[in-house]
Amino acid sequence: MARAGGTDPAPTGAGERGLPPAVVARLTVYLRALGGFLADGVERVSSEALAEVSGVSSATLRKDLSQLGSYGTRGVGYEVENLRQHLSEALGLTRDWRVAIVGAGNLGRALARYGGFGTRGFDVVALLDTDPQIIGNEVGWLRVGDAANLEAVFRRTRTNMAVLALPASAAQAACDRVVAAGVRSILSFAPTILQVPEGVTLRKVDMATELQILAYHAQRGESGGQSGEPAGDPA
Ligand SMILES: NC(=O)c1ccc[n+]([C@@H]2O[C@H](COP(=O)([O-])OP(=O)(O)OC[C@H]3O[C@@H](n4cnc5c(N)ncnc54)[C@H](O)[C@@H]3O)[C@@H](O)[C@H]2O)c1
């Protein structure tokens, strides 16, 4: 049984062992920055310019990108579209991700209404709940389905990623059903530790913990670094 109680990402990306979590987090930042360059019609970018908009040092950027293979040319920089494609592949974003949200309360509904996932390659295909008052309601362009039919809905929608936005007390049972339905990538907002079998990646989002970390750095009067470039962790 793998256990996921914290916010530590599982290794992802190229290579047998995957990239270190901090590198994966920074790759997502580079990817967003490259999207900005492309939108501005920029075809080539220097490591300094890309590092600057990403909020990291150019040495860190070059080290990160070298882990994916060397794509920069000295004096010429990186081809924006090429690098963006390569990062997308390394991050698994060229796959078709079909996301179901389990729990259509305040959080689940807000997530389902958010339009930004689709543009990043994540289609929200289902929203499920157990409450008869909520089942059948329209949220954005989705209609809330009955969580009792989770397996059938996942099959029909070809769900391959699930978000748990339900109470802690219901989370493990729902997680088990999601796993039994064949989903291998789960993001949980439930404030509890969940068990998943080997081969399933579970990430937990815990805003309260993040706020506590911020408070810790604030009371020490220091910068805790940006997400993706943790202070004192150049990995
Ligand atoms: N991690 C974070 O940063 C963060 C932030 C906000 C909320 N949360 C957590 O996210 C969860 C959802 O928060 P909320 O404010 O939307 O709560 P909510 O009470 O508004 O919604 C929870 C929904 O889950 C449904 N539900 C219960 N059991 C279910 C099951 N087995 N299958 C499907 N649906 C089920 C309920 O009917 C309800 O509609 C809570 O556990 C909350 O503590 C986490």
Which tens digit of pLDDT belongs to each residue from 112-162?
Answer: 999 888 877 899 999 999 999 999 999 998 999 999 999 999 999 999 999
105 with 78, same domain: the answer is no
What's the domain range around 30? 21-90
Decide if 120 is inside a domain: yes
Ligand 1 near 130 CB (within 6 A): yes
Decide if 169 is inside a domain: yes
Please give the single-letter amino acid code of residue 209: T
Decide if 132 is inside a domain: yes
Ligand 1 near 107 CB (within 6 A): yes
Which CATH number do you get for residue 198? 3.40.50.720
Ligand 1 near 205 CB (within 6 A): yes
Tell me the two tokens of residue 189. 């907002």
62 with 101, same domain: the answer is no
Decide if 192 is inside a domain: yes
Tell me the two tokens of residue 33. 């920055």
Please give the single-letter amino acid code of residue 14: A
Decide if 70 is inside a domain: yes
107 known ligand binder: yes
Q: Of residues 208 and 167, which shows the higher confidence score? A: 167
153 with 56, same domain: the answer is no
Q: What is the pLDDT of residue 220?
A: 84
Q: What is the pLDDT of residue 53?
A: 96
108 with 158, same domain: the answer is yes
Distance 164 CA to ligand 1 centre (A): 8
The pLDDT tens digits of the residues spanning 181-233 come to 999 999 999 999 999 999 999 999 999 888 988 898 888 877 655 554 443 33
Which CATH number do you get for residue 49? 1.10.10.10
Measured by CA distance, the residue closest to atom 37 of ligand 1 is 131
Decide if 227 is inside a domain: no
Rounded to two decimals, the ipTM of the complex is 0.97
Decide if 15 is inside a domain: no
6 known ligand binder: no
186 Cβ contact list (under 8 Å, min separation 6) = 161, 162, 163, 164, 175, 178, 179, 194, 196, 200, 201, 202, 203
Domain-terminating residue out of 47, 72, 90: 90
Identify which of 33, 34, 67, 61 has the alpha carbon closest to the alpha carbon of residue 47: 61
118 with 172, same domain: the answer is yes
104 known ligand binder: yes
144 with 171, same domain: the answer is yes
The pLDDT tens digits of the residues spanning 205-216 come to 999 888 988 898
User: Is 1 a residue whose pLDDT tops 60?
Assistant: no
68 with 145, same domain: the answer is no
Domain count, the chain: 2
End-to-end CA distance of the chain: 27
Contacts by residues 15-19 (CB-CB < 8 Å, ≥ 24 positions apart): 15/67, 19/67, 19/90
71 with 101, same domain: the answer is no
User: Is 2 a residue whose pLDDT tops 60?
Assistant: no
Indicate yes or no: pTM above 0.90.
no
106 known ligand binder: yes
Q: What is the pLDDT of residue 95?
A: 77
Distance 194 CA to ligand 1 centre (A): 15
36 with 81, same domain: the answer is yes
Domain-terminating residue out of 90, 113, 148: 90
**pLDDT, mean of residues 31-52:** 93
The pLDDT tens digits of the residues spanning 52-104 come to 999 999 999 999 998 888 666 777 789 999 999 999 888 888 778 999 999 99
Q: What is the pLDDT of residue 232?
A: 36
Distance 162 CA to ligand 1 centre (A): 14
